[in-house]
Structure 1
Amino acid sequence: MTGASAALAEPIVSVIIANYNAAPFIEACLRSVLASDLADIEVVLVDDLSSDEGLALARAIAATDPRLRVIARDTNGGPAAVRNQALAQARGHWVAIVDSDDLVHPRRFTTLVAAGEASGAAIVADDQLVFDDGVASPPRRFLKPADRTEPIRLDLDSYLNRAVLYGPEPDPGFLKPLIRRDRLMSARVLYDETLRIAEDTDFAIRLLLAGLDYLVVPEPLYFYRKHGRSISHRLSLAAVEAMRAADRALSARVMSAYPALAKRCRARARALDRVAALERLIAALKQRRPIAAAAELVRNPAVIPLLRMPIMGLAGKLRGSAPPATLSPADQFKHLLADADAA
């Protein structure tokens, strides 16, 4: 099926992409999505009032491929609001979430749709290759080795157990699922627009609470880019407080429906409390208020293990080690494809 005919029919997959100042990455992202071996897709990109040339780059690609629709917002609403707007425009049987700075394997949508149809699951995701932007170091698998041998089912209990901020398990909120659109519409679940970080985790928990089942296949067909601009790697006290407020409301719903999951909810709340304490501690240190920082440590000694993250980051800068070998975007994508096919 050609791109033009695919755009006219009801697509199998609607790929939704929230874009905000992702000009260095958006072209590669879109080209990897449009190169899918499943031609019967549409791509709905919503730009969140970017100040760079990313919107123009997306529009230039849309002019050559009618499967891509570009929508420009006139206000900045954050990733949750942008995804909700894209979801309202989606027409496919499945909705796929892709971030504007990431890449996908050409086989990804075919593989996940086949897995979803065969299993009957309403939500399907895959393992990821996590790579550092432009760096020639080997990518890392996201899932633990024990979860890479066969598909795993995530129910509400197992998802909550894993979705603990800075916890011991890979947080499934980082996975980018395909969701059956009819089930999504029936569930009437949208992204929480008060969240600018961790909106994916909150969204998935509410889908599971609504009865949708979740399958994760072990193939690493999603390529997750790590770089300094990423919103998901920039916490702030305001963002953490929004996460805590949303989690309190969501945990109340979970515990009301499933009292046995109260332990899981409390563990997630404690993790968010520790991160909030860490952000208060860092703010006090930046403001040169050592007494306030020390008091925060006394009140919240559980924050001490988390201090290794900013300390290790600062130590890396102070060491001044030689910069790593770099790769061009095209070469990096080729390496990722080879690593995924060899996995």
Structure 2
Amino acid sequence: MTKVSVIIPCFNAEDFVAEAIDSALGQTIADVEVVVVDDASTDGSRAIISAKAAQDSRVVPVFLERNVGPAAARNIAWTKLTGTWVTLLDADDLYLPDRLERLVSFAEAQNADVVADNLSIRHFGDDTHLAAAFPHVANGEIIRVDRAFFFKNLWNGPQKYGMGILKPMFRAKFVRENSIAYDERYRIGEDMLFYMNSILSNAKYYILGDCFYIYRKRADSISNVGDHVFTTLASMCEEILSNDKRLTTEDREHLTKRGQGLLEYFHWRQLRALRRRGDKLGFISYVIKRPSSLFYMMKMSVAWRMKRG
């Protein structure tokens, strides 16, 4: 029987980590192990994880004595797991009961290396489906992800999610044979880099349009904090462009465009903040320094008005 390892990184998640663990354990596929890495939480997370491990031997608890960040926590989990397939579950999210069975069945039928499903976006504490996180793949649709599709959809513009939002399932053998790991320098965007390394290692990668993963939005999530998200992701793009020899000319064109888009969006947000504060001098100074930010603001304004009708 195929074994699936679920990695749950945890930091100060006492209000929801039990739900996440139960969601992974409650899958219709029986052979599951749940590796929960507590990244030196200061709340009651460790006690909850310990209790779950005592109740069910499929829970593999890993307790870190110092906070190392999400990338390092994921890498540590990879040293503990034993599954044929490996996937992630954030501590504040959930799976539908048949998620793993459906993904494994499809992946093995297609001899895939990576398979992702769509995500159902919901507000935390509300079970109402708001939207699919990745609308580029419709419900019921199946996409074979090539390099062009991946890089084109790395970031899809304001108020939209890109490839990094997905929570794919990986064939463990593929990841290990290609020495793919999370870059521990980053606490944001580490998933995007991991997925990019997979596609650059020629992964046979599919996305299913069905939403089997429940993505619960929280205002205090690390990925939602601060405009530095956009500059960090843009810096990642620039570093990859400078150092990764596997990139084709087409890859470079797409990646350059994504990086530029992230920076444009960052500068627009800075300009918008100055305007909202009524800082006229700051606004003018910013425009003089970066005149392209004003043109981007005008473009955004037109786009929003057209969207509203």
**TM-score normalized by the length of structure 1:** 0.79
Does the alignment pair 1:20 with 2:11?
yes
Which structure 2 residue ranges, 5 or more long, are not aligned? 302-309
C-alpha distance in 1, partners of 2:23/2:299? Answer: 36
Aligned equivalent of 1:158: 149
- SS of the counterpart of 2:72? helix
How many residue pairs match? The answer is: 299
- SS of the counterpart of 1:23? coil
C-alpha distance in 1, partners of 2:38/2:171? Answer: 24
Output aligned runs, 1:313-324, within 5 Å.
Answer: none
Output aligned runs, 1:298-309, within 5 Å.
Answer: 298=288, 299=290, 300-301=293-294, 303-304=296-297
Note the C-alpha offset of 1:271: 1.8
Output aligned runs, 1:67-78, within 5 Å.
Answer: 67-78=58-69
Note the C-alpha offset of 1:30: 0.7
- SS of the counterpart of 1:63? helix
C-alpha distance in 2, partners of 1:306/1:104? Answer: 38
C-alpha distance in 1, partners of 2:70/2:114? Answer: 20
Aligned equivalent of 1:41: 32
C-alpha distance in 2, partners of 1:169/1:148? Answer: 17
C-alpha distance in 2, partners of 1:28/1:240? Answer: 31
Output aligned runs, 1:61-210, within 5 Å.
Answer: 61-135=52-126, 137-144=128-135, 147-164=138-155, 166=157, 170-210=161-201
Output aligned runs, 1:282-297, within 5 Å.
Answer: 290-297=280-287
Are the equivalent residues in 1 in contact too, given 2:121–2:129 (CA < 8 A)?
Answer: no
Note the C-alpha offset of 1:304: 2.0
C-alpha distance in 1, partners of 2:199/2:99? Answer: 23
One-letter code of the match for 2:72?
A
Does the alignment pair 1:30 with 2:30?
no
Are the equivalent residues in 2 in contact too, given 1:285–1:293 (CA < 8 A)?
Answer: yes
Aligned CA distance change for structure 1 residues 269 and 36 (closer, same or farther; 3 Å)? same
Are the equivalent residues in 2 in contact too, given 1:255–1:261 (CA < 8 A)?
Answer: no
Name the structure with the higher helix share. Answer: 1
Aligned CA distance change for structure 1 residues 256 and 146 (closer, same or farther; 3 Å)? closer
Are the equivalent residues in 2 in contact too, given 1:297–1:304 (CA < 8 A)?
Answer: no
One-letter code of the match for 2:99?
R
Are the equivalent residues in 2 in contact too, given 1:165–1:272 (CA < 8 A)?
Answer: no
Are the equivalent residues in 1 in contact too, given 2:148–2:250 (CA < 8 A)?
Answer: no
Note the C-alpha offset of 1:114: 0.7
Note the C-alpha offset of 1:152: 0.7
C-alpha distance in 2, partners of 1:224/1:167? Answer: 19
Note the C-alpha offset of 1:252: 3.3
Are the equivalent residues in 2 in contact too, given 1:22–1:54 (CA < 8 A)?
Answer: yes
C-alpha distance in 1, partners of 2:118/2:77? Answer: 24
Query: Per-residue displacement from partner, 1:261-305 (whole Å, max 9, x unpaired)?
Result: 222011111122124424654776799865234332451225527
One-letter code of the match for 1:38?
I
- SS of the counterpart of 1:76? coil
C-alpha distance in 2, partners of 1:102/1:145? Answer: 22
Are the equivalent residues in 1 in contact too, given 2:120–2:132 (CA < 8 A)?
Answer: yes
C-alpha distance in 2, partners of 1:173/1:276? Answer: 18
- SS of the counterpart of 2:209? strand
- SS of the counterpart of 1:251? helix
Note the C-alpha offset of 1:54: 1.6
Aligned CA distance change for structure 1 residues 21 and 131 (closer, same or farther; 3 Å)? same
Are the equivalent residues in 2 in contact too, given 1:26–1:101 (CA < 8 A)?
Answer: yes
Query: Per-residue displacement from partner, 1:131-152 (whole Å, max 9, x unpaired)?
Result: 0112364432223275323211
Pick aligned residue for 2:48 from 41, 46, 57? 57
C-alpha distance in 2, partners of 1:32/1:67? Answer: 13
One-letter code of the match for 1:77?
V
C-alpha distance in 1, partners of 2:132/2:33? Answer: 28
Aligned CA distance change for structure 1 residues 81 and 270 (closer, same or farther; 3 Å)? same
Are the equivalent residues in 1 in contact too, given 2:200–2:246 (CA < 8 A)?
Answer: no
Are the equivalent residues in 1 in contact too, given 2:37–2:63 (CA < 8 A)?
Answer: yes
Aligned CA distance change for structure 1 residues 193 and 286 (closer, same or farther; 3 Å)? farther
Does the alignment pair 1:248 with 2:238?
yes
C-alpha distance in 2, partners of 1:196/1:306? Answer: 31
C-alpha distance in 2, partners of 1:118/1:51? Answer: 43
Identity of aligned residues (%): 28
C-alpha distance in 2, partners of 1:172/1:159? Answer: 7
